[in-house]
Amino acid sequence: MKPLILVSNDDGITSKGILTLINVMKTLGDVIVVAPDGPQSGMGHAITVGETLRLEENFIFEGVKAYECSGTPADCVKMARHFVLKDQRQPDVVVSGVNHGSNTSISVLYSGTMSAAIEGAIEGTPAIGFSLCDFSHDADFSHAEEYIRKITKQVLDKGLPKGIALNVNFPPKRNEAIKGIRLCRQANAKWVEEFDERYDPNGRRYFWMAGNFVNFDKGEDNDEWAIANNYVSIVPCQFDLTAHQALPVLNEMWEIL
């Protein structure tokens, strides 16, 4: 029996990246798509609470059952598992992307792409988020296809540790071929924000978030280094945010315990 592969993303069901991902997944198994009906970038792990969710079948992909959802990427995975596939066979892997833009370093916390993958991991399914470090609307995904297939096949054949989702980032298309794959840690980097104060035609004040990405990491074992040096980066991520190393320190420091 072919594996069942659930595909989602955060750029929306009509994005170029999800079409690339679906075409690769069709060579590996049976594909079902549940993706947002419009862009949901930067949503993190938001879910829809107190508002309606809508789900409609979409016939955009030939030979692939697909649904568009009004909710977030995490909503899409939940809807796929608990409504579309309710009382049916559950997916063998959840794949998300391919995102238009980097999700390296701290961006993983804001990423809708990775939230879909992490939701899969929460549900106990091996999961992968794929991102291309190129924000242009006409970005070339072709050099990533071989690696998408190779990484997904490894996960299908070998599995992942429980509760782990892979954050995979590809360098942009360059004149030289990708050098290979690096298993990495998340780089110590962050966005340093600035808020541009502006006024609309009615004189009402609004703000536009801007800023710069600053990499404080000098190591060669992190995702930022890998991408800069034309490698595919893979960072294993977990949804348990407990700082386990801090527990004994706090127990010793605090007098109230």
User: Which of the 8 DSSP states describes residue 125?
Assistant: -
Query: How far apart are the C-alpha atoms of 49 and 83, rounded to whole Å?
Result: 17
Quote the crossing angle between the two packed helices 145-158 and 16-25, to the nearest 10°: 50
Please, where are the H alpha helices in 80-187? 107-110, 112-122, 145-158
Q: Which pairing describes strands 205-215 and 232-238: parallel, antiparallel, or unpaired?
A: unpaired
73: nearest Cα among 114, 131, 24: 114
Query: How far apart are the C-alpha atoms of 73 and 115, rounded to whole Å?
Result: 6
Residue 10 is assigned to a ligand binding site: yes
Query: How far apart are the C-alpha atoms of 133 and 106, rounded to whole Å?
Result: 14
CB atoms within 10 A of CB 244: 7
Query: How far apart are the C-alpha atoms of 199 and 211, rounded to whole Å?
Result: 19
Residues 6+ apart with CB under 8 A from 78: 47, 119
Contact in structure between 94 and 77 (CB atoms under 8 Å):
yes
Helix (H) or strand (E) holding 79: helix 73-79
Residue 99 is assigned to a ligand binding site: yes
Could you list the residues known to form a binding site, using ranges.
Answer: 10-11, 41, 99
Could you list the residues known to form a binding site for a divalent metal cation, using ranges.
Answer: 10-11, 41, 99
